[in-house]
Structure 1
Amino acid sequence: MTEWAARRFWTDATAEPMEGGGHTVRLDGRAVKTPAKSPLILPSEAMARAVAAEWAAQGELIAPLSMPVTRGANAAIDKVRPQRAEVADMLAEYGDSDLLCYRAETPEELVARQEAAWDPLLDWAADTLGARLEARTGIMHAPQDADSLARLRAAVHRLDAFELAAFHDLVSLTGSLVIGFAAERGQGAPDDLWTASRIDEDWQAQQWGEDEEAANAAEHKRRAFHDAVAFLSLARAE
C-alpha cells in the first residue's frame, strides 16, 4: 500500500508584506496557514521568500521533508510560541549536563581530541556568556555552578519564538547548550561545530568501523543542524 500524500493545488506562490508588520506567503492569492490553522506571519521578507520558494518547488505531490523553512515556521508558531517559557526552560536544562563537560579518561588520543575541540568552546562561553561550565571525567552527573546556569537560562529566555525554534534543534541535535549558543552567535563554522559534537561517535566509528544505518542517521541530523542555522539567519534578516 502506498502512503497518501497531499497533492499540489496551486500555481503561484508569492511572498507578501502584511499590514501591521510581518510577511506571509500566498498560494494563488490565498494566505498560507499553519497546520493548527494559525496565520503564517513571518518575521522577515527573506524568510517569506524562502517559504514561498519551497512551495513553488513542490511537484505534483507535496513533500514536507523538502520544506525545512516552512516546517520551522510552523513549529515556531504552533508549538513554541504557545509555550515559549516551557521550551526555553527545557533547553536551558542542557547546561547542567552539557556534552562538552563529560570527558573520557582514556585513551589519550580521544582525551586530546575532546580537549582540543571542547575546551575553547567552554572558554568562549565563560568569556561571552559569563557562564563557566566545568569539565569532568566519566559519565556520572555532577551539578554545574548555579550562577553560570542562571546566566545561560536568562540568555535562552531572551530568544523569541522563531529564534527558539531554531535553537531547539541546535541544542537537541548536539546535546550541548554551549554549541547551540556558539551556532546561534556565529562562533565558528556550522560544519566545525557539528564535527565537535560528534567526536565520541566519530572515534567509535574509527575504532570499530562505520555502521551504515548510524551513518545515515548522523547525516540526517547534520542536515537538520544546518537547516536550523539557516532558519535562524532568515528569522533575523532585515
Structure 2
Amino acid sequence: MRDWKAKRFWKEAAVVEAEGGYTVELDGRGIKTPAKRALVVPTRAMAQKIAAEWQAQDGVINPDTMPATKTANAAIDKVALQHAEVADMLAAYGDCDLLCYRADSPAELVARQAEQWDPMLEWAREALGVSLQTRVGIMHEPQSPADVARLSARTHALSNFQLAAFHDLVSLSGSLILGFAAALDAKEAESIWEISRLDEIWQAEQWGNDDEADALAAVKKTSFLHAKLMFDLSVPE
C-alpha cells in the first residue's frame, strides 16, 4: 500500500464560481484539500493557476509539480485555523530583521550592506512607517516597541491566502521588511531575493561557489518567486 500513488482520472480541470470565490472541478467534481475541505480560492486568476496544474498532470499525480495547489491547501487547512499564530511568528522577524544586523569588517562588505540594505530600510520608513535601527554584530537588540507593533498589525491584517504566501516571502528571505517589499512591489522580486542573499553572495565571491549550496539556493529562489506570484494572485480583482 505504501507504493500506491494517485492517478489521473479526469479529462478536464475547469474553474467555476463558488461561494466565497472560485474553485476547480475535475469533470464536474470539486477539488478537496488534504483535510477534506472545499478548495475555494479568492480570485479567478488563482483558480486558473491551480486548474492548469491539475490539467498538466500526466498519469500519476505529482504534488511536486503543483505549488499553487499546495499554497492554497496551506491557506485553507493551516493558516485559516491559526492565523494569529502564523502572523505572530512572522511579525517577530521585525524585531530581529536581517537588514538590521551589519558586519564590522571587511570594509567592502560593510559598504555593500549599506548600499543594498539601507535603501530598503528607508523604503520601510516611507511605506510602512517604521524606523528600524541597525546594529553591528549578531547579538539581538530589540527594536522600538511601537515599530514592532506597527509591523505586527500589518502582518495580522493579511488575509489567509496572503499570509500563506507571505510566510514564504519572509522565512525564505529572513526579513520581514524584504517580505513586505516583495509583496508591495518595492522592487522586482528577483532583486529582493538577491538583496536577501548578500552575505551568501559575498562569501561565495571570497571562497568560491559550492555546488550543493548553489542548488539549494536555486530551489529557494524558485519558492520565493512562487510565493510572490501567489501573493499577487490572492489579491481580489
If the TM-score is normalised by the length of the shorter chain, which range does it land in? over 0.9
Distance in 2, matches of 1:53 and 1:234, equals 14
SS of residue in 2 equivalent to 1:15: strand
User: So what's the TM-score if we normalise by structure 1?
Assistant: 0.97
Q: CA-to-partner distance for each residue in 1:155-212, whole Å, 9 max, x for gaps?
A: 0011010000000000000110000000111110001100000000011111111111
Matched, 1:57 2:56: yes
**1:5 shift after superposition:** 3.3
**1:218 shift after superposition:** 0.4
Distance in 2, matches of 1:5 and 1:138, equals 49
**1:66 shift after superposition:** 1.1
Gaps of 5+ in 1: none
SS of residue in 1 equivalent to 2:41: coil
Distance in 2, matches of 1:61 and 1:106, equals 53
Superposition RMSD on alpha carbons, in Å? 1.1
Matched, 1:206 2:205: yes
* Aligned residues with identical type, % of pairs: 55
Q: Counterpart of 2:131? A: 132
SS of residue in 1 equivalent to 2:82: helix
Matched, 1:31 2:57: no
My pick for the range that moved more, 217-226 or 57-66, is 57-66
My pick for the range that moved more, 125-134 or 162-171, is 125-134
The change in CA–CA distance for 1:134 and 1:62 in structure 2 (over 3 A counts) is: same
**1:237 shift after superposition:** 4.3
Q: Counterpart of 2:6? A: 6
Q: Counterpart of 2:15? A: 15
The change in CA–CA distance for 1:143 and 1:5 in structure 2 (over 3 A counts) is: same
Q: Counterpart of 2:95? A: 96
Distance in 2, matches of 1:128 and 1:225, equals 21
Q: Counterpart of 1:40? A: 39
User: So what's the TM-score if we normalise by structure 2?
Assistant: 0.97
Q: Counterpart of 2:171? A: 172
Q: Counterpart of 2:120? A: 121
Distance in 1, matches of 2:174 and 2:164, equals 16
How many equivalent residue pairs?
A: 236
My pick for the range that moved more, 63-72 or 79-88, is 63-72
Distance in 2, matches of 1:117 and 1:4, equals 49
**1:48 shift after superposition:** 0.8
Q: Assess if the C-alpha contact under 8 Å between 1:46 and 1:237 holds in 2.
A: no
